Amino acid sequence: MRVTSIITVNYNQPAVTIDFLCSITQYAPSEGIEVILVDNAPVENHEPEFSSAYNGLIYLKSEKNLGFAGGNNIGIKTATGSYILLLNNDTEITSRFIEAMVKEMEENPQIGLLSPLIKYWDDKSIIQYAGFTKMNYFTASNRGIGYLESDRGQFTNTSCETGFCHGAAMMCRKADLEKAGLMDESYFLYYEELDWCEKFKAIGKKIWFTGKTYIYHKESMSVGQESPLKTYYMTRNRMLYIRKNTNRFTGTFFNLYYVAFAIPGQLVKCLAKGRADLAKQSLKGLWWNLVHNKNSQATGYKAK
């Protein structure tokens, strides 16, 4: 029997993480599963409660908050499964979710990364993710398929190639991961899953969506919809992602667009809402790229 390693990262959200583990206990198969919890710089020790929520839990503690990518990378290095399934701790799985994901991977060896249909926890009839369109690398923009649509079964039994996976739920083969490489920890938060998709594409694998199964997502419980933290990393990493995954011509066009149009527009919107704190973080994210420009290109730049 092939083992599936489920990896999740907790950052001081014990109650949410316990709910997640309880959903694994309820809906995951009793055999062929290992569950790895990476606890990122916990303020309090909740290992006993976590272990009680899932019997046999592999608990890993990081003294430092390594972010989404760093935390998952710790879990990946420990995982022994043939399949690796990354799940956000603010998700809950559903009946036969694991089996459906593994079956999809086994039926299509071209799949590198696979994400399921994702619906909102607060309103389980509303879709968050049913795939992404391809990226416009000149503006670093794309569109979420199915986003905020009512679930009328329009994606049920649908499986297809998609632009990108969703970081809340991604499955891959360990053998492919060893070729593609770990997630880039320089992102810390946001865009790391898009960058990871690019790595799988680079080894000839496809990015895939399936509506044959689904999970529920408690979106933005960690940082909020318009938090300074999110604004900083979204601004910073959008530019970093383009610099790492495009050629010099495309990167130059994007930089001009971003500095001359996107950032000024973002600042106007922030100030119009009375959110000078968000405007400051936008500028801070831009400044990070200017300061780290040479180092980032030297360590991660890829021709496309």
Mean pLDDT of 23-30: 95
Give the model's pLDDT for residue 222: 42
Residue 113: pLDDT over 50: yes
Chain segment 147-206, per-residue pLDDT in tens: 999 999 999 989 999 999 999 999 999 999 999 999 999 999 999 999 999 999 999 999
274 vs 244: CA distance, rounded Å: 33
168 neighbors 178 (Cβ within 8 angstroms): no
Give the model's pLDDT for residue 219: 82
DSSP structural state of residue 118: E
SS3 8: strand
Residue 139: pLDDT over 70: yes
Give the model's pLDDT for residue 225: 66
- The structure tokens 């667009």 sit at 257
Residue 107: pLDDT over 60: yes
Q: Which residues contact 300 (CB under 8 A, 6 or more apart)?
A: 184, 186, 243, 244
Q: Which of 181, 28, 242, 201 is nearest to 110 (CA)?
A: 201
* pLDDT band per the 50, 70, 90 thresholds, residue 298: very low
Residue 14: pLDDT over 50: yes
Give the model's pLDDT for residue 1: 74
The domains found in the chain, sorted by start residue, are 4-217 (3.90.550.10), 228-300 (no CATH)
Structure tokens at 112: 């590198």
Query: Cα 131–136–139 angle (5° rounding)?
Result: 125
| Whole-structure pTM value | 0.92
Q: How many CB atoms lie within 10 A of CB 300?
A: 15
105 vs 176: CA distance, rounded Å: 12
Give the model's pLDDT for residue 62: 95
Give the model's pLDDT for residue 154: 97
Between the alpha carbon of residue 99 and those of residues 32, 51, 291, the distances in Å are 10, 23, 46
- The percentage of residues in the chain with a pLDDT greater than 70, rounded to a whole number, is 94
147 vs 160: CA distance, rounded Å: 17
Q: Which residues contact 23 (CB under 8 A, 6 or more apart)?
A: 91, 92, 93
More confident site: 224 or 99: 99
Q: How many CB atoms lie within 10 A of CB 99?
A: 15
81 vs 49: CA distance, rounded Å: 24
